Chain A
Amino acid sequence: MAALPEVLAAQRHAREAVKTGKQPAFLDKRAAADIEALTSEIVPTTGTPGAKEAGVVHFIDRALATFEQDNQRAYRDGLAALNAKRATMFPGSASIPALTSQQRIALLQSVESTPFFALLRTHTMMGFLADPVYGGNPAGGYRTLGFQPAHMYAPPFGWYDDKANGGEN
């Protein structure tokens, strides 16, 4: 079992890092910039906050240093492969962050079926929706889902059970 306090610490760290503009500790600058650019395409900033505002890169940074150490290599190799692919798909491009959003999407689509993409996507979703108990939910991941984080409810719960539970519908 991964050390659980470390999971919680990673979430808290992500929140704080976003607030204070802190630099990642484990990832080097280039890897961090790549990850931020990629995860921001996985959960983009639209009318509502996305992975960037949620500090997903900081969540991943802390995770790889602690409870996801086993995946350090997957990230190293995965990012290297993506950068190689970038160079062939977009000759002359300088880096992943330097691509246009459309180019980044095309790049991600080309690796969609790889284990690294699955890992990156999973970590993005985790960082985007991590429990607010550990530092708030500034990205509004819950708003995107329509999840009402009351954690205690009374019927009716939805539109269809309103009548069965004494309402009008």
Chain B
Amino acid sequence: MPAPYRATDPVDFLVVGSGAAGGSVAKELSQAGFDVVVLEQGPYLTEKDFTHDELKFVFQNYLINDIRKQPQTYRTTAAETASRDLRMVYGRQVGGGTVHFNSNYWRFLELDFRERSLWGGIPGTGFSDWPITYSDLEPYYTKAEYDIGVSGLAGANPFEGPRSQPYPLPPMPVKSSGVLFERGARKLGLRPFPAPVAILSRDYRGRTACKHCGYCPRFGCEFASKSSALATVIRMAERTKRCEVRADSYVSRIETDSQGRVTGAAYFDARRKERFQKAKAVVVCANGAETPRLLLMSHSNRFPHGLANSSGLVGKYLMYDLGTLVSGLFEHPLNDHKSIDVTRVVFDYYAADRRRGFYGGGGIDCRFGSNPITHAILGVPPDLPQWGSEWKGLVGEYFTHTMSSLAHATSLPMESNRIDLDPVLKDAWGLPAMRVTYRRHPDDIANMKFLLARQREILEAAGARKVWDLGPDDLSYSVHLMGTCRMGADPAASVVDKYHRAHDVPNLFVVDGSSFVTSGRQQPTATIQALAYRAAAHMIESAKRGEV
């Protein structure tokens, strides 16, 4: 660990949050010679803390935000009073959600950045083009893939934009679900390809290849084979000796001076003592849900509606993680509980198509995604016995002979869908709780029904003996946190510019899923990380010119 920075000496950059975005920004800035402090509210866990205990990691949500300490409220429209509920789910430790993510690491396609131009406006939404294109971001996708280690097959995705480099690592070995999915998809004339994942298929830069343990989603990787921010960029940043990652530091407020420039951040330390870290510039990377909350909590006389919120759009255009799950039972054992989650995907239904009669599209994968206890509770289809001797006779067959497919669907940006501060409820630190207002657009629902039917076709074509699903997403919680501080050229219609600098505050940057203008087809982390590298490159240039 580098020597801690003194709170009274302004550091060059203060980064709030240490996930995909914060970790990458901290790494780039510290490697460029700047002094960086990262404030992370969660603990600093490492590989030795990561076991396969399903009760702890899945049912007790060990790595996920705890709504008993940081409660949230939810409502569908502003006309309702919000009630307590968990809606925004994220990783709360050094490395953020990348510690326990499923590691699907999809680049956006070229079309994702200019869908408004391709499709036209959609009434009742803020459907817009991004202020940047795929080619603006391409060098940074590549940089992220090489820094962290991503496995995949370049050229295999027929819809992908041009790449400057192949993936640094070959694809992961295919699982039985992948073989079956590929078989079914090809029969239908689709073009499946090996899933790109932030997991090491071979040893890479001092880290060891994946051992196929089967404990990715919700678990941390004890081998550091998962390319989390913790296993990669955080450690690179610390090695520069110019970056201090200060865990158990919960930022409550970003402070500004009479010129309207940020001066640092107030935070609670592990003992809930209030502290202040001075900084020449602040980069907020607290994720698509906590970032707008923090900006809104940082209101002042000069910024009465929240920091960087002259547009009134901080927190608005929240997009949700929408998807549909279909499962199938096959003749022979798949043993899909082994190894990583996803090994094959299809993008043939990714682009929106007018002939379908609605806007939307999705990427479709194959997976299993259950550990033993979860499977015992949820794995046998709902039309069959859920307990008793008949259940006991079935549960094993469904554990070994089943696979699922998850479609990752578009979520339209609507102004009424938002994060703001609950007027009543407080968290355990006395700060206003997050209030979530969200409902789906009718096209989102039509799209999910469409994707569900396509997934069923694929599993049937793959030879499933039984296919079942639970209908379009029941709208529980979201793990992909997008929108809420959208980027754009017009300060009246966006929160940050195309380099993630707040329109209203010259030395404040906001980089994470909150910058997204549209949702892509979920799996936002590769794009979040590429945006972070690009934003950092701009911060470095500007700081060197004295323009931060």
Contacts and interface: CB of A to CB of B under 8 A. Distances in A.
B386 to A, nearest CB: 7
A141 interface: yes
B330 interface: yes
Interface string B381-403: 00000111100110111011000
Nearest to A160: B176
B175 interface: yes
A40 to B, nearest CB: 10
Contact of B386 (A8, A44, A121): A121
A160 B387 CA distance: 29
A142 B372 CA distance: 8
A147 B332 contact: no
B54 interface: yes
A157 B175 contact: yes
Interface in A147-169: 147-148, 151-161, 164-165
B338 A8 contact: no
B456 to A, nearest CB: 19
A163 to B, nearest CB: 8
A69 interface: no
A122 B377 CA distance: 6
A11 B54 CA distance: 12
A153 B339 CA distance: 7
A81 to B, nearest CB: 18
Interface string B40-70: 0000000000011111100111100010110
Nearest to A50: B392
B291 to A, nearest CB: 23
Contacts of A65: none
Contacts of B179: 160-161, 164
Interface SS of A by simple majority: loop
Contacts of A145: 372, 375-376, 395-396, 399-400
B173 A1 contact: no
B386 A159 contact: no
Contacts of B395: 144-145
B335 interface: yes
Contacts of A133: 51-53
Contact of B396 (A50, A146, A164, A165): A146
Nearest to A154: B212
A44 B372 contact: no
A97 B397 CA distance: 31
A1 to B, nearest CB: 5
A151 to B, nearest CB: 5
Contact of A129 (B176, B214, B337, B372): B372
Contact of A157 (B51, B59, B176, B389): B176
Contact of B392 (A44, A126, A156): A44
Contacts of B173: 155, 157, 161, 164-165
Contacts of B337: 147
B508 interface: no
Contacts of B175: 155, 157-158, 161
Contact of B332 (A11, A67, A153, A159): A159
Given A1-B61, A144-B392, A8 B377 contact: no
Contacts of B334: 157-160
Interface of A: 1-2, 4, 7-8, 11, 41-44, 46, 48, 50, 67, 105, 108, 121-122, 124-126, 128-131, 133-134, 141-142, 144-148, 151-161, 164-165
